[in-house]
Amino acid sequence: MAHDSPLIAILVIGLGLAFVFGTIANRLKLSPLVGYLIAGIAIGPFTPGFVADRSLTLELADVGVILLMFGVGLHFSPRDLMSVRRTALPGAVLQVLIVASAGAYVAHVLGWPLGAGIVFGLALAIASTVVMMRALQEHGLVEGESGRLAAGWLVVQDLLSVLALVLLPPLADVLKGGALDPGALAVSLAETFGKLALFGALMFVGGARVVPWVLNYVAHTGSRELFRLAVLSLALGVAFAAAELFGVSIALGAFLAGMILSESPLSQRAAEESLPLRDAFAVLFFVSVGMLFDPMTLLREPQALALCLGVVLVLSGTCVFVLVRVFGYRLSTALLLAAGLAQIGEFSFILADLGIGLGLMPERARGLVLGTSILTILVNPLLFGAVSALIKRRAAAVPQPVLQPTSLTGHAILVGYGRVGRIVAQGLAAKALPFLVIEERADAIEALRQSGFAFLEGNGAGDGMLAAANLAGARILFVAIPQAFEAGQIVEQARAARPDLPIVARSHFDAETEHLARLGATSVIMGEREIAASMLAAAP
Ligand code: AMP
């Protein structure tokens, strides 16, 4: 069966094993990426048993790359990209130069010629966009300062590798000792830049009108299925056209497609619609990386591999860190970028493939590039997780504005000042009942300031929050936030401290109602039920 329908075999066995190993990794508190890579090794040619069709797997993985980059583009407006051009452009160029030189030196130590050194160096200098963006997404950092800078940095690296891919073939002979043909070089350079510019112009001029118009039209048909299809065909179509017609990498093409859509009000919906497919195919990307890897490389070339790891993990990381700091960014941004970019992936494989194909680099280099990639992708989630935890800890250690305990007693405590909380607050104020609001969101705090109501700023489930609100002396607690999980924590804490206190909580599902009641809420108001009751009341 695996031989008759290789595509189905990959989907079933590849995704199935990724699921199994991913779950195991999750149990062991490792990143699921580790599991996906191991699944890839298991169905690769270097381990016994089933061997999946690699070129098919790679094509499927490309679908993942397209959707991932499209999603990144959706969160990213052209303005964001322009805002980091002064830093990301020189930063990435310098980092690639420095790291590629070090990589070329490693190649020299291994006894390879200069041409091999250049390709090998570049392969070690260009980070995997997929890995970095996934890390940012996992930690909810795509939209912040680090996300913007990272995306800018990756775009520049991406352009550099496109450039290298174009320049290598005409330069290959020179690097191997032949004579330079300036005419051929100029032609291929002009051709590449011409195509890039044409593609960019077409996207920004034509795409920025046509694409949102199509989506808008489809959105008004009211068919969710058609909208989803429109999003998919736009993302895949633009990326494919970019690669086939313009020689731009599909990753960059998809990123641009997402970016021109980011200004349209429909971008949020487009992002949501492409999510489930994106995640499934991105998994295949990691499986395909695992498939390429021969675990014996670890035993055959430990020293060379250690050198490469040093270049990517230590040198590249340090380089990024120093450059980002020099450009005046915060310590946390520098640490996140350094951790995120200290890995290599898809571009490195493509570069290595080309270098070997042109006869510039020995076959042995492929194993090293792959080994370095796998190991750095394995280490990356740990590194990134550690940095992100460190930053969060530091943020927590920064003295929070001291909670000023309230002097109110016999009051009501109201958690949440959103659509529900505001109406409760007005009602309490109208009855002249004393109350205190707990709220965490900046815009709601601003509204509270203007209203003149007493409030505490912070998470209602946070340490000492309820005590500062004088729970001991309160008359009643209203939990008017929509998330049942946090609401449950608040209810539980309050019930433990005050067995007699009336607690009124808000829910949206029957299961939530039960959950909150079990934790000690005296009464739970389910929003949907109240809406239905009011609707019915309007019946003649
Ligand atoms: P709405 O769903 O419009 O009633 O908004 C709920 C409000 O509750 C928002 O303003 C949130 O910022 C706020 N909120 C949600 N969770 C918490 C929490 N744990 N502590 C304090 N405020 C919260």
Q: How far is the CA of 282 from the centre of ligand 1 (A)?
A: 33
Residue identifier of the C-alpha nearest atom 11 of ligand 1: 416
Q: Is 417 in the pocket of ligand 1 (CB under 6 A)?
A: yes
pLDDT tens for 15-68 read 999 999 999 988 887 778 889 989 999 999 888 888 888 888 888 888 888 887
Q: By mean pLDDT, which of 88-97, 273-282, 335-344 is the weakest? A: 273-282
pLDDT tens for 512-524 read 999 999 999 999 9
| Per-residue model confidence (pLDDT) at position 398 | 53
| Per-residue model confidence (pLDDT) at position 116 | 94
Q: How far is the CA of 142 from the centre of ligand 1 (A)?
A: 23
Q: Is 438 in the pocket of ligand 1 (CB under 6 A)?
A: yes
pLDDT tens for 309-340 read 999 999 999 999 999 999 989 899 999 999 99
Q: Is 462 in the pocket of ligand 1 (CB under 6 A)?
A: no
Residue identifier of the C-alpha nearest atom 1 of ligand 1: 418
Q: Residues 467, 472, 476, CA angle at the centre, nearest 5°?
A: 100
Give the whole-angstrom CA distance, residue 401 versus residue 418: 22
Give the whole-angstrom CA distance, residue 518 versus residue 492: 9
Number of Cβ within 10 Å of residue 260's Cβ equals 25
Q: In what order do the strands lie in the sheet with 503-507?
A: 455-457, 435-439, 412-415, 476-479, 503-507, 523-526
Domain boundaries, the chain: 61-281+319-396, 412-537
Q: Is 527 in the pocket of ligand 1 (CB under 6 A)?
A: no
Q: Is 482 in the pocket of ligand 1 (CB under 6 A)?
A: yes
Q: Is 457 in the pocket of ligand 1 (CB under 6 A)?
A: no
pLDDT tens for 115-127 read 999 999 999 999 9
Q: Is 356 in the pocket of ligand 1 (CB under 6 A)?
A: no
Question: What is the CATH superfamily name and number for domain 412-537?
Answer: NAD(P)-binding Rossmann-like Domain (3.40.50.720)
The DSSP element (H or E) to which 28 belongs, if any, is: none
Asked if 333 and 145 touch (Cβ cutoff 8 Å), the reply is yes
State the SS3 of 494-524: HHHHCCCCCEEEEECCHHHHHHHHHCCCCEE
pLDDT confidence band for 106 (50 / 70 / 90): very high
Q: Residues 494, 505, 475, CA angle at the centre, nearest 5°?
A: 55
Hey, which of 420, 436, 439, 443 would you mutate to test ligand 1's pocket, going by the most ligand atoms within 8 Å of its Cβ?
439
Q: Is 444 in the pocket of ligand 1 (CB under 6 A)?
A: yes
Q: Considering the chain, what is the average pLDDT of its residues?
A: 88
pLDDT confidence band for 280 (50 / 70 / 90): confident
pLDDT tens for 452-486 read 999 998 889 888 899 999 999 999 999 999 988 88
Q: DSSP letter at 473?
A: G
Tokens 């191997």 belong to residue: 176
pLDDT tens for 287-313 read 988 888 888 888 999 999 999 999 999
Question: Which residue type is seen at 198?
Answer: L
Q: Is 461 in the pocket of ligand 1 (CB under 6 A)?
A: yes
Q: Is 440 in the pocket of ligand 1 (CB under 6 A)?
A: yes
Ligand 1, atom nearest to 421 Cα = 4
In words, the CATH class of domain 61-281+319-396 is mainly alpha
Q: How far is CA 484 from the centre of its chain?
A: 26
pLDDT confidence band for 279 (50 / 70 / 90): confident
User: What does the longest C-alpha to C-alpha distance in the chain come to?
Assistant: 92
Q: Is 77 in the pocket of ligand 1 (CB under 6 A)?
A: no
Percentage of the chain modeled with pLDDT above 70 = 98
Name 507's bridge partners: 526
| Per-residue model confidence (pLDDT) at position 402 | 56
Q: Is 478 in the pocket of ligand 1 (CB under 6 A)?
A: no
Q: How far is the CA of 317 from the centre of ligand 1 (A)?
A: 39
pLDDT confidence band for 506 (50 / 70 / 90): very high
Q: How far is the CA of 459 from the centre of ligand 1 (A)?
A: 9
| Per-residue model confidence (pLDDT) at position 534 | 94
pLDDT tens for 130-149 read 889 888 888 878 777 888 89
Choose among 492, 41, 92, 476: nearest CA to 288: 41
The answer to whether the predicted template modeling score (pTM) of the entire model surpasses 0.75 is no
| Per-residue model confidence (pLDDT) at position 323 | 96
Residue 501: pLDDT over 80: yes
Name 439's bridge partners: 457
Residue 102: pLDDT over 60: yes
| Per-residue model confidence (pLDDT) at position 3 | 60
pLDDT confidence band for 424 (50 / 70 / 90): very high
| Per-residue model confidence (pLDDT) at position 193 | 82
pLDDT tens for 72-96 read 787 777 777 788 888 999 999 999 9
pLDDT tens for 373-410 read 989 998 998 899 899 888 878 776 654 555 678 888 99
Residue 2: pLDDT over 70: no
Angle between helices 129-138 and 364-397 (to 10 degrees): 20
Enter the tokens of residue 487. Answer: 């609401």
